[in-house]
Structure formats: C-alpha cells, structure tokens
Structure 1
C-alpha cells in the first residue's frame, strides 16, 4: 500500500537533517537523541527506577526498570534498544518501554548495553546475556516473576534479543517464555535481500546507514559475518527457541531478513506470529500516539505479550496489516 500519510509527513519534516552515515558518531547520537522532543507522551507507569549491576568486564552496567499498575509479582520483559548497535539510549526508548510496560502489565528492564565503535562486537550481546541472567536471578527485587520472562528489542535490539534467546538455549537458561522481535536485524547488510534494494533510500533508515552501522559494530568482520551471535539467521538450528512475535515494515530495508527469520523459526517448530505493517517504515514504534497505525502496532505487541505471559502464545503466518 502507499506510504502512510502520517509517516510521510514525519519523513518530510526530517528531510533537512544530514544522513546518519555522513556524521561523526557523537553528532549522529545527538541527532537521534533530539527526536525525543517530538515523540508523543507515553503511557503512565507506576514507577521508574535505575539500577547499576555488575557488568561482564567488572564495570557497572545500567538498567532502567519500569513498574506497571497492580499487584506483583509481574511478568518481566528484558528490553534492548535499537539503532545499529551504535546510537540511541535508555532515554530514546523510554516511551516504547513505558508503553509496553503499561500495555502488557509487565515489569520492563531496559538494558544500557555498551555501544560500538567504542565497544564493538561481541560487547553488546555479552552485556545483554549477563543482564538477562541478572534480572532472572534478582526477579524478586524487581517485583517480577522469574518463571515469566520474555526478551525483546527493536532493530539492533531485536537482533540482541534473538541472540540472547539462542545463547540461553545453548547455555542452559534461564528459560524464556518468548522473544519480542520488532523489525529485527537478523542478517549481514550485504546479504542481498530484495527489501534492501526496494527501500535503499527515502524511507528513513537507508542501505548506506546500515553499512555504516555494521562498519562500526564489526569493523573487521571476516568470518564473523556468519556468526550466529552477530547474525542469528545463520544459527545452525533454531529448534527449541521460545515463541516469537516478529514484526516488519513494508518500507524497511530489514523487512525481508526479519520475515526470513520468522520462517526459519517456524520451520524449526517454534510458535511464531509475524506481522508486516503496510505503509510503515523502520522505527515506527517510536510514533505510537502520533501515528494511528503505529499506535495499533504497539497495541498488537502489548497484546502478544499479555497472551505469552498467560501461557497462550499466539501463532499466525505473516499477516499484512
């Protein structure tokens, strides 16, 4: 379908901004942080607190914990923000986390993992694995139920959620109830997916920006471009992984690799729900509350979480909404 007119207006409003790949990393980070001012006010949560936990290098790792209304212990979503393993922060994704917390009635622990290029692969997946295990072990402190945990993230954060699920399966847990993969990165940027050509430029995230992201995350990739902890589509097996919601956007270079990952999971016997959101572009969860279809997508994600936490993971083949 045509590009959603509300998304088109947002893209037009940002045409004056320089492309990410032309900027220094500090300038690109500042440009992405500036988007916070134009996002819709998020849903209300009961409490937000920050914690410092021991990181894998001995230095502290920060998490931000969101508490929903109601009596706990609540289910828990461990969330990893996106933006190419290089940009964004707990603050840029604060609204998404608040909306998921309130909509799903779950505690959300948002992880401030180390960013490239200062900390290239495998720093980010190491941080996310450690943080997930810490949250499971300390669930009672967070007001959460250690038997009801989902990992999730958007874009690069979706990659980190998928990789964390793979690693927990490989290394003996803790067990997860699900994985929330929002327009995830699952493959190398030069793998040749048609959506990279169809949506190479003009819709926000571009092919050139993805090459810039990967160049910082894996500056000397070599054989690592097929390592499952970097590109989860290349895992030897996807059997035994937890149920997944995979969402993609029609006008997104990452569309095809996300849907391929959903199909790979389904072929391995994993319960999968996959939705392609027509008329939308990469990053659409930021605009819940400002763009009608983005609000609907956020409601779907929160509804999927509620069903998974209740032990009823829904499944559907790739639906176009």
Structure 2
C-alpha cells in the first residue's frame, strides 16, 4: 500500500505555513490538563474572533441540551439552526457532529465558529447541527468517548422532532478523533441493522470523516516503509508523532484492541450496507493512510 503521491505539500499549504509558522509539538513536561486548558482557551478565543469578524451569529440560533449518559452523567449537545427557518414547520436535515482534539481537547465553544458558519452559509432552507461535548481523557478512558457518542445518537433519536429535525435525513460526522467516533457510531448502527435490531433508532443516511483517526497506533497493521504516512510525517506540523502518542496513551489500554476504535480494520461483512461516506484526507498527516485505506475498503464493498 502506497499513498505517498498525496504527501505534498502543495503550494497553498507552504504559503499558509510561511504566514503562520510551524506548530511545534507540546512540551513533554506539561500535564495533559494544563495542555487542554491552554489549547481550549486558544481555540475558544479564535472561534469568538471569527464569529465577531464574520458576524457569524446573525443568521444562526443555538441552544444547549443536556444528554443523560448510560452512567448517569450529563454531557452537553449544542444545537445550531438557521435563524430564517425558525418560523417554518418543515423539518430539516441533521448533522450529528463530534469535534476533534485527540480525545483530550475540544468543547462545544471551540466549535462555535465552524459549526455556526457552516449552518449560516448553507443554501436555504438549511440544516441543523448537533455538536456533542463527549467526555475527554485523562479523566475518562476509552470507551467512555464512544459510549457518549452512541448515547448522543440515541438522544437524537428520541428528540429529533423536538429540535425540528427530519428523521429520514440524518448524517454523522466529525474531525480527527471526532471522525473516529462518527465511524464507530456508523459501524455499530450497521451491525444492528444487519441483525435487524435497530428498533426505533434513526436511519443514518451518510457519514463525514474529516482527517479521521481510525486506528490505535499499537494496532496499526500497515508496514512502516519509507512511503507510509507514519514514516513521512513523524514531524508533521499539526499532528506530530509525539502528540499522537500522547493522545493514544491517555486513552488507556482498552482502546488498543477495541473494534469500535479500530474501524479501519472493519472487514467486508461489517461494511456491507453502510451509508455513503465523504472523506477529507490530508497528505502531510500521520492518519493519511488509514483514512485512504478505509475509503478504498468502503468502495470495494459498495
């Protein structure tokens, strides 16, 4: 397997890096909690700056909902809707969204700009985004994150009409770690569908996997040749190996062999019947090969 033709970098990326500077891996002495506070603070500030500069809230409303998890904790789902549709009774498509951040970073606030702008810029009548603040490491080990993601899908099933969503038009997606959660939710949903055990659960029309993290590094079966993304991108500017290793270690031991974490290893029998998938893959990324190989596998299985 050789996807090195996508390595790049392209000219646009080189220009961007010249303007913004190289993103160094975190200092090894900083604690995960300190790193999370600092990173989330920067992301929230950036989101608020973008919202202010683009008047991103003028055409969007949002409301926070509380989701009761299976272990009787509460997580937040922020629901974004196009303001122009508030008085309409026609239900809208729904995107159940999980943020990225290595299962360590991210909140609903860090996603405000990207989610609000996506809703605001979509052609009328628009769609709804349900952004889920699943729980993070190091306080919560895997599979808490997956359980929260699945519980949020069950919550959406019960409340989609309450938020004005169309039960027949639901997609699941995310970025990086969040894309891994989306892939896991779709995998479990497809397993239940194959076993005729979906019951009242919503159908899933599609999944969106952006820079997806679909394999634990310790379970990665791809050879570490000079052409592999792991060999080429050890010092990648956004996600170097030092960061990915820290994220993986914080998940705990269960993630290493968990099928819902390692969805890139899904075999043909698990894939058949899955909904259509949209991938966003980046060339200079440790996760490139697992994303492209999963895309190939989905294509091979219809």
TM alignment of 1:162-311, pairs within 5 A: 162-171=183-192, 172=198, 173-190=201-218, 191=220, 192=222, 194-217=228-251, 219-221=252-254, 224-236=255-267, 237-269=270-302
TM alignment of 1:18-97, pairs within 5 A: 19=26, 21-33=28-40, 34-38=42-46, 40-41=50-51, 43-44=56-57, 45-68=59-82, 69-70=84-85, 71=88, 72-97=90-115
The 3 A distance-change label for structure 1 pair 22 and 133 is same
The 3 A distance-change label for structure 1 pair 66 and 6 is farther
Q: Quick one: which of 154, 161, 180 aligns to 1:159?
A: 180
TM-score by length of 2: 0.81
Is contact 1:186–1:232 with CA below 8 Å preserved after alignment? yes
Q: What is the distance in 1 between the residues matched to 2:296 and 2:27?
A: 31
Aligned length: 264
Q: What is the distance in 2 between the residues matched to 1:167 and 1:35?
A: 31
Q: What is the distance in 1 between the residues matched to 2:297 and 2:37?
A: 37
The 3 A distance-change label for structure 1 pair 134 and 10 is farther
SS at match of 1:92: helix
Aligned to 2:18: 9
Aligned to 1:124: 145
The 3 A distance-change label for structure 1 pair 36 and 58 is closer
Spell out, residue by residue over 1:115-173, the C-alpha distance to the aligned partner (whole angstroms, 9 max, x if none).
11211111111111111121122111111111110011000000000000011122224
1:21 is displaced (CA, Å) by 4.9
Q: What is the distance in 1 between the residues matched to 2:263 and 2:136?
A: 19
The 3 A distance-change label for structure 1 pair 259 and 229 is same
4+ residue runs over 4 A deviation: none
Is contact 2:80–2:115 with CA below 8 Å preserved after alignment? yes
| Residues 1:99 and 2:103 are matched in the alignment | no
Is contact 1:21–1:212 with CA below 8 Å preserved after alignment? no
Q: What is the distance in 1 between the residues matched to 2:105 and 2:46?
A: 18
Higher RCO, 1 or 2 (CA under 8 Å, sep at least 6)? 2
The 3 A distance-change label for structure 1 pair 12 and 256 is same
Is contact 1:227–1:234 with CA below 8 Å preserved after alignment? no
Q: What is the distance in 2 between the residues matched to 1:268 and 1:20?
A: 43
TM-score by length of 1: 0.76
Any stretches of 5+ residues in structure 1 without a counterpart?
Answer: 270-321
1:238 is displaced (CA, Å) by 1.1
Is contact 1:67–1:101 with CA below 8 Å preserved after alignment? yes
SS at match of 2:278: strand
Spell out, residue by residue over 1:1-42, the C-alpha distance to the aligned partner (whole angstroms, 9 max, x if none).
435144303551655xx6165421121112222133345336
Q: What is the distance in 1 between the residues matched to 2:23 and 2:215?
A: 28
When structure 1 is superposed on structure 2, of 126-135 and 92-101 the one drifting more is 92-101
Spell out, residue by residue over 1:219-272, the C-alpha distance to the aligned partner (whole angstroms, 9 max, x if none).
224xx5242211111223211111110111111111111111111111121xxx
The 3 A distance-change label for structure 1 pair 9 and 92 is farther
